[in-house]
Amino acid sequence: MTLEQRLARAFLEHEPAEAAQALERIPSDARASVFRAAPVEAARALGQMVSSAAAESIAHLTDAEVAPVLSALPLDTTIRLLRRLPVAEAERLTRALPEDGQDRLRRALRYPEGTAGALMDPAVLALPDDINVAEARMRLRRQASELLYYLFVVDRTGRLVGVLDIAELMRARMRDPIRTAMHDRVEHLPAWTPAAAVRLHPGWRSFHAMPVTDDEGRLVGAVRYQTLRRLEYEADDGGGARKTTATVAALGELFHLGLSGMVEGVAAAAVPRASRAVLEDGTHDGGSR
């Protein structure tokens, strides 16, 4: 990997907000070339872009190209982007993901934008209420990828009946039914709750994740604290207005030239003049790192 590529990837990974502003200033096909070259690093910037520009960018990617980009995004971000695309295009991109990811996306996408159902992460660990603590701990280890700080408990019809945190589960006796460790009064969000009401729900004073239920009281997902913070930011920021700087504008032009041109913009913004001279001398001598 060349020095230019390393600097470009570092910029995308460590300064995603500024990289997002730069990407928004160039044509969508040029943005797509960045995601092809550095899908995982560019995904962080993609999540910071305005939704319309981000969605337009991923629509230019093939199935094979889009899978690593979407897989690196938080699920709620992927949902937000796919809602900006025509139904057929969103379905094409969904099919590019692994099967378990496809199912989660489709479950969330059936709820209208701006509701708790659209904001939720459908992949949350649900424990049946008729197992004991030992079985619950085993399932926790087996399904670690779906773990929040809270563990939600459901009956055999899928209805939400309780909640407990990991510390409470670890303190409980192994042979005890999980019902003895859980709390049966659960703050929750109906899936059709408007986003404004999600943000103001009093349950956030006590919990960092809020379960979401359907019309029958069945657990369908949870809204994470990170999503709440994004909602608060958008409300305070009047729709996501962001600062603009001359450095970001220059970097946007460099993105249009491709990743190889990024080094000049990064150097101009971040490398002292003397250090830059050293880099230029090394380049003139034919050296590369």
Q: What is the pLDDT of residues 173-213, one digit of tens each?
A: 999 999 999 998 889 999 999 999 999 999 888 888 899 99
Q: Are 155 and 166 in contact (CB under 8 A)?
A: no
Residue 116 maps to a domain: no
Give yes or no: residues 223 and 252 share one domain: no
Arithmetic mean of pLDDT, 214-229? 87
The confidence band for 147, taking pLDDT boundaries of 50, 70 and 90, is low
Which tens digits make up the pLDDT trace of 42-88? Answer: 888 888 887 777 888 888 888 889 888 888 888 778 887 887 787 78
Where residue 70 sits, what CATH number does that domain have?
A: 1.25.60.10
Q: Which residue has the higher pLDDT, 160 or 260?
A: 160
- Residue 120 placed within a domain: no
Query: Please, what is the Cα angle at 35 between 66 and 58, to 5 degrees?
Result: 45
Q: How many domains does the chain divide into?
A: 2
- Asked whether residue 117 is domain-assigned, the answer is no
**Mean pLDDT score across all residues of the chain:** 78
Give residue 108's pLDDT. Answer: 76
Domain containing residue 229: CATH number: 3.10.580.10
Q: Which residues, 6 or more positions from 256, have their beta carbon under 8 angstroms from its beta carbon? A: 26, 27, 30
Q: Is the dihedral of CA 70, 194, 206, 186 positive or negative?
A: negative
In a domain, 121, yes or no: no
Task: Supply angle C-alpha 280, 282, 287, rounded to 5.
Answer: 135
Evaluate if residue 242 carries a pLDDT over 60.
no
Q: Which SS3 state, helix, strand or coil, does residue 53 take?
A: helix
- pLDDT surpassing 60 at residue 268: no
* Residue 115 covered by a domain: no
Say yes or no: 106 and 8 in one domain: yes
SS3 32: helix
Based on the fold, state whether residues 205 and 105 are members of the same structural domain. no
| pTM tops 0.85 | no
Question: Domain boundary at 236, 256, 273, which?
Answer: 236
Model confidence band, residue 267 (pLDDT cutoffs 50, 70, 90): very low
- pLDDT greater at residue 3 or residue 18: 18
- Residue 44 pLDDT: 85
Kindly report the number of other CB atoms within 10 A of residue 111's CB atom.
21
pLDDT, tens digit, 9 for 90 and up, residues 77-117: 888 788 778 778 888 888 988 887 788 788 778 888 889 98
Question: Looking at residue 213, what is its pLDDT?
Answer: 92
What integer is the mean pLDDT of 142-157? 78
**73 in a domain, yes or no?**
yes
pLDDT of residue 238: 52
Q: Please report whether residue 175 resides in a domain.
A: yes
Contact 42, 60 (CB under 8 A): no
Domain of 35? 3-110+243-284
